[in-house]
Homo-oligomer: A and B are copies of this chain.
Amino acid sequence: MTEDARDEVDRLVAAWRAERPDLDVEPLQVLSRVSRLAKHLDRARRAAFAEHDLEPWEFDVLTALRRAGKPYELSPGALLRATLVTSGTMTNRIDRLAQAGLVRRRPDPEDRRGVLVSLTETGLARVDAAFADLLRRERELLSGLGGADQRALASLLRTLLAPFDSPL
Interface residues of A (CB under 8 A from B): 1, 3, 5, 7-10, 12, 15-16, 18-20, 23-31, 33-42, 66-69, 84, 128, 131-132, 135, 138-139, 141-142, 144-145, 149-165, 168
Copies of this chain held together in the complex: 2
The reply to whether A159 and B144 form a contact with Cβ atoms under 8 Å apart is: yes
User: How far apart are the CA atoms of A36 and B163 in the complex, in Å?
Assistant: 12
The reply to whether B138 and A145 form a contact with Cβ atoms under 8 Å apart is: no
The reply to whether B160 and A30 form a contact with Cβ atoms under 8 Å apart is: no
A18-B69, A23-B135, A66-B19 known; A33 and B157 CB under 8 Å? yes
CB-CB under 8 A from A139, the residues of chain B are 24, 27
CB-CB under 8 A from A162, the residues of chain B are 5, 7, 144
Contact of A160 among B15, B69, B141 (CB under 8 A): B141
Closest 5 CB pairs of A and B: A38-B38, A27-B138, A33-B157, A29-B154, A15-B67
CB-CB under 8 A from A37, the residues of chain B are 34, 38, 157, 160-161
CB-CB under 8 A from A12, the residues of chain B are 67
Contact of A158 among B3, B150, B158 (CB under 8 A): B3
Q: How far is the CB of A25 from chain B (nearest CB, A)?
A: 7
Q: How far is the CB of A58 from chain B (nearest CB, A)?
A: 16
Q: What are 6 A-B pairs with beta-carbon distances under 8 A?
A: A23-B132, A27-B139, A27-B141, A30-B150, A34-B41, A37-B161
